[in-house]
A and B are shown apart, each in its own frame.
Chain A
Amino acid sequence: EDQVTQSPEALRLQEGESSSLNCSYTVSGLRGLFWYRQDPGKGPEFLFTLYSAGEEKEKERLKATLTKKESFLHITAPKPEDSATYLCAVQAGAYKGTASKLTFGTGTRLQVTL
């Protein structure tokens, strides 16, 4: 069974204080690892998909990296508007020509204060 564990559960940072969120996963045949941002009362907002170990992607102050066992979401010089819950999800291999479900972690609640 696919499993995703995110840590820490909650993180409080001061503006400008860089940090990393962790996503550890166990999956049979990783097809993709997804990062989402979710604001209260909203649906998950797509950030990145990573497909193979060693891959990195960046968007503004966010950088996602992937190894064979975990992914990190690095936040550089965060601002209060980066406050949200960050969700990690894995998609395992499936039959060719069909998609397969995402298995999510419980998220990391990030709060960035002035």
Chain B
Amino acid sequence: GAGVSQSPRYKVAKRGQDVALRCDPISGHVSLFWYQQALGQGPEFLTYFQNEAQLDKSGLPSDRFFAERPEGSVSTLKIQRTQQEDSAVYLCASSAGTEGPFSIYFGEGSWLTVV
């Protein structure tokens, strides 16, 4: 597709349930990022992939959060045993390069509400 695609757009999970959020980056984009955005705040970094390699996971808030990108294209962010504080928008972004002049494009986000 023309842009970064995320699914589901909206997810309501019961506390303790596992969720999986999918990201389809722009075709051919090497770099892929996951961010978490709370209401009224700027996005906060979670993790970064270069192709299939997860090079930075310093922003993942706990070991309940796990991300993968096995074939260097589609990525999945998994949250185990969800808690209310996990309620947020999860944004995926991709870019064509790793350094030098390039732009980073975001998807529309997956809105997670934990009840």
Contact = CB atoms under 8 A, between A and B. Distances in A.
Q: Do A and B bind each other?
A: yes
Interface of A: 4, 31, 34, 36, 42-46, 49, 51, 87, 89, 94, 96-107
A39 B59 CA distance: 25
A104 B44 contact: yes
Given A49-B102, A98-B55, 16 more contacts: A43-B6, A43-B106, A44-B91, A46-B103, A46-B104, A87-B42, A89-B42, A96-B99, A97-B98, A99-B95, A99-B99, A100-B48, A101-B45, A101-B56, A102-B43, A106-B40
B101 interface: yes
Contact of B50 (A45, A49, A99, A105): A99
A103 B45 contact: yes
Given A49-B101, A99-B31, A101-B56, A43 B45 contact: no
B21 to A, nearest CB: 13
Of all A-B residue pairs in the complex, the 6 with the closest CB atoms, nearest first, are A104-B42, A101-B45, A43-B106, A43-B108, A99-B31, A99-B98
Contacts of B4: 43
Most chain B Cβ neighbours within 10 Å, of A97, A103, A104: A104
Given A34-B104, A43-B108, A45-B106, A100 B56 contact: yes
Interface string B36-63: 0000111111001010000110010000
B54 to A, nearest CB: 12
Given A44-B91, A106-B40, A106-B42, A101 B48 contact: yes
